[in-house]
Amino acid sequence: MAIAIALILLLAGSILFHFLSPWQLTPLASNWGSIDDTIGITFWVTGFVFVAVNVFMAWAIVRYRWRADRRAEYEPENKKLEWWLIGVTTVGIAALLAPGLFVWASYVTVPDDAHEVEVVGQQWHWGFRFPGEDGSFGRVDTRLVTGDNPFGMDASDPAGHDDVLVHGSRVRLPVDRPVKALLRSRDVLHNFQVAQFRAKMDLVPGQLSYLWVTPTRTGEFEILCAELCGIGHFAMRGMVEVVEPEVFEQWLAAQPTYASELARAAPDAAAGKALYTPCAACHGAEGQGNVQMNAPRLAGQDAWYLIRQLEYFKAGARGAHPDDTHGQQMRAFAGMLADRAAMADLAAYVETFPEPPPVISIDGNPQRGARVWRNCGACHGSEGQGLQATQAPRLAGQDDWYLERQLENFRRGIRGRHPGDAYGWQMAEMAKLLRDDDATRDLIAHINTLALAAAPAPADPTALARRTD
């Protein structure tokens, strides 16, 4: 009897939990209400079976409990009961599967008036490409992918020149207009999912998959990677902003095209030298850094990273936090650079600086730090050399006091929380791995060992050449 009561209590508890649980589906923001209906039908069918089986069990336990005056009967065959069970199960399974088949048929049938966007996934961020004015995408090839050509665009295909390339994990879509998302992966399996759209699909290397959706209300909706794709999987998030069609068109027209990227002149280090003059006062004549001026070392840092940070400072995506006093100083200086070309010239000049030997000022336990480092190395490179593919800058050889301050800023939300900082918030998430100041110092002590291992021997002048791996 006690077991029968326990079963009924569990049953009632489960049903109550289902209806009272705070974890419900997010409010729908797309045309895929039919997917919600299918989920609802699944809950009703499985819920009915769940209730029926448990009530039957409780009833059987009470009705057929042990009594001294009766014995169990052995009945291996019961045609009538079997026909009933086959019939009821068939109806149940058909009710579970049939609606899904209809929904799937419309899920893979893209409406003719859908516009297109390509979604490119890679460890651990998203990129987006729109077909431009000609309405067709240019050819791409994974073999053409480089740090400067993350989409693998084929410059010889004229159809690609008007393609709009969105670097970074934020994209906009117009409301009430069906869109076909073409999905492509640069490395491993990923899965594009927006919970409010109820739509998701795998990205398979070497294959082009797709899904389509009509966003039905404006707002910001998070893009998640729903396929375990390596150590940074949890940080592979993005944002789709659904806006009014006019806002979308304006935004799209303001995005750079592939042609404008191709037209960029090669950076001019000589022009950068003149631009560097105001920087030298704090960062040093050869970018060696100056702790008294709170100015980190620039020598040895990659140009692509310097350009991006200058862009962020100028746009206020970095250094705008009221507690980031040193970042605010940098904002003023970045504002003096006219455009991206000027930043590229400046970064090209910084790349000519010889690399001074690392200066160690922080004490910690590098063995303990090495354990945390395994997470960092996935993006920054195992030797801390920086990887453009993952958009992670070089750390080895960077001033350790600066690393400590930035990790602290990431941990406290002073850096990396601005929506325009496409990669900073990944670091803000990662910095949560550091439980306290000791953990930070241990990690930096390990990065210092990487710097010392990579440091050029002063006697050998060729070793002063920048590490390019």
Residues in contact with 335: Cβ distance below 8 Å, sequence separation at least 6, in sequence order = 313, 314
Q: Cα separation of 289 and 301, whole Å?
A: 12
Which residue, 234 or 304, is less far from ligand CUA as judged by CB? 234
Q: How far is the CB of 225 from ligand CUA (least distance, A)?
A: 3
User: Using omega within 30 degrees of 0 as the cis cutoff, is the peptide bond preceding 425 cis?
Assistant: no
* Closest CB 285 distance from ligand CUA, rounded Å: 43
Q: What is the DSSP letter of 319?
A: S
Q: Please say which residue, 258 or 425, places its beta carbon nearer to ligand CUA.
A: 425
Q: Among 181, 229, 243, 422, which residue sits at the site for ligand CUA (rule: CB under 6 A)?
A: 229
Stretch near ligand CUA under the rule CB under 6 A, chosen from 140-148, 225-233, 374-382, 416-424: 225-233
Judged by CB under 6 A, the chain residues 176 through 195 that form the site for ligand CUA are 190
Nearest approach, Cβ of 179 to ligand CUA (angstroms)?
Answer: 21
Crossing angle of helices 366-380 and 437-454, in 10° steps, is 70
Q: Shortest distance, CB of residue 238 to ligand CUA, whole angstroms?
A: 11
CB of 310 to ligand CUA, least distance (A): 29
Instruction: Enumerate residues 343-372 that contact ligand CUA by CB under 6 A.
Output: none
Report 14-53 residues binding ligand CUA (CB under 6 A).
none
Structure tokens at 383: 């030797």
Bridge partners for 219 per DSSP: 242
**Cα(178)–Cα(173) distance, rounded to whole angstroms?**
10
CB 371 to ligand CUA: min, Å: 23
DSSP string, 72-106: -------HHHHHHHHHHHHHHHHHHHHHHHHHHHH
State the virtual CA torsion across 81, 85, 91, 94 in degrees, nearest 10: -150
Residue number, 229 or 343, with CB nearest to ligand CUA: 229
- Is 235 among the residues that bind ligand CUA (CB under 6 A)? no
The reply on whether position 58 binds ligand CUA by CB under 6 A is: no
Q: What is the CA radius of gyration of the chain?
A: 29
Which residues, numbered 110-129, are part of the site for ligand CUA (CB under 6 A)? 121
Q: Which stretch binds ligand CUA (CB under 6 A): 135-143, 208-216, 228-236, 381-389?
A: 228-236
Report the residue from 194, 236, 269, 447 that binds ligand CUA according to the rule CB under 6 A: 236
- Judging by DSSP bridges, how do beta strands 237-243 and 170-174 pair with one another? parallel
Question: Are 424 and 417 contacting, i.e. CB atoms less than 8 angstroms apart?
Answer: yes
Interface residues with ligand CUA (CB under 6 A) are 121, 190, 225, 227-229, 233, 236
